[in-house]
Structure 1
């Protein structure tokens, strides 16, 4: 698809690829994880070739997601540091939800809501990785008490992360013009000026 040459580059190809690896890994993990969590979801194991293969594959996909997310974290953590403007944005977030985003505080590449999402996902990812290793009995023969605690933490962090990702996807669809940033790596100047004025000025010099 031909894009307007005046569009602004928001993500490099490797950044988008990194994002999609995490996203696809998460979907696979959520499906297999739900199958293990409750009998009602057990038929989902057939997507992986049956319960045995689902159990074998799940932790390895988890390692892939953890490593891929770590790359995202290292690349973007400096852009997600909270500022006074972010706190002001969060205080006025209801206006954004109501569709009135014209008087929101000026934001950089990411707004306050996106930054909260970033750090919440980072905490969940850390908890899921550590607890996942604790219950991976094929490789780590830890004490049964640790395994049981790890299972509870893993399930709780997984449930929270599913909820966060649902909000993330909904917000990307709701704010028109956002999804194309991860498909094509670019956004329109109008989108950037309306939603991320600070970043718009930074990349255009205006």
Structure 2
């Protein structure tokens, strides 16, 4: 595939491996977190060896996801800076969903929707990390008063709910935009797809106007 003249590299092996590390960590965190969110979900603790192990493992998996997400943040933060073109892209989303993309401005490696999702995930992740530290009983909770711990618990639950919703939307959008999943599985996309959906990035990769 690397030598296929009709393909273009979108994600390196390292980027893909780190993405899937974050994805697997997220799934484990969602399952273990839900197990303590409501008694109806408590049976999920059996996936982790019981309630005690679930409570022990959850924050450590969180550290792993935080590190993985941190790598993505530093790799993609500049590529996700919002531009006037991105705001225009967002203003025409409804038309695009209806099948009319005539007014969509050229997108870079990431379009306006992807950039908005990126920053919402960054904000959610920051809240999860900060609140998670406060409620991590074994190491940090004793440093904070009960009122702060209660507030952090609420923030953690809300931020987790928001992140789960964002990830579900991310998966839906990836399925809806053909080749997005292939890009994260195999690294390459068709040049025609890149030119259609990420025109500015395609030209940059090709070294000029195409």
The two structures have a TM-score, normalised by structure 2, of 0.95
Instruction: Give ranges in structure 2 of 5+ residues lacking alignment.
Output: none
Distance (Å, rounded) in 1 between the aligned partners of 2:3 and 2:126: 38
Q: 1:166 aligns with which of 162, 168, 172?
A: 168
CA contact (8 A) 1:102 1:194 kept: no
RMSD across aligned positions (CA) = 1.3
1:187 counterpart = 2:189 = yes
Matches within 5 A, 1:92-171: 92-140=92-140, 141=142, 142-171=144-173
Distance (Å, rounded) in 2 between the aligned partners of 1:171 and 1:3: 28
Partner of 1:68: 68
Partner of 1:176: 178
Alignment deviations for residues 154-193 of structure 1 (CA, whole Å, 9 cap, x no partner): 0000000000000000000001111011001111011101
Once the two structures are TM-superposed, the CA of residue 101 in structure 1 deviates from its matched residue by: 2.7
Greater CA drift, 100-109 or 57-66: 100-109
Instruction: Give ranges in structure 1 of 5+ residues lacking alignment.
Output: none
- In the TM superposition, structure 1's runs of 4+ consecutive aligned residues that sit over 4 Å from their partners are none
Partner of 2:4: 4
Helix, strand or coil at the partner of 1:131: helix
Query: How many residues matched?
Result: 206
Q: 1:3 to 1:97 in 2, by over 3 A?
A: farther
CA contact (8 A) 1:128 1:153 kept: yes
Alignment deviations for residues 2-60 of structure 1 (CA, whole Å, 9 cap, x no partner): 98343000011111111111110000000111111011111111111111111110000
Distance (Å, rounded) in 1 between the aligned partners of 2:195 and 2:172: 21
CA contact (8 A) 2:128 2:156 kept: yes
Matches within 5 A, 1:22-61: 22-61=22-61
CA contact (8 A) 1:89 1:105 kept: yes
Helix, strand or coil at the partner of 2:53: helix
Greater CA drift, 8-17 or 101-110: 101-110
CA contact (8 A) 1:109 1:198 kept: yes
Once the two structures are TM-superposed, the CA of residue 100 in structure 1 deviates from its matched residue by: 2.5
Helix, strand or coil at the partner of 1:95: helix
CA contact (8 A) 2:66 2:125 kept: yes
Helix, strand or coil at the partner of 2:46: helix
Partner of 1:203: 205
Distance (Å, rounded) in 2 between the aligned partners of 1:176 and 1:168: 13
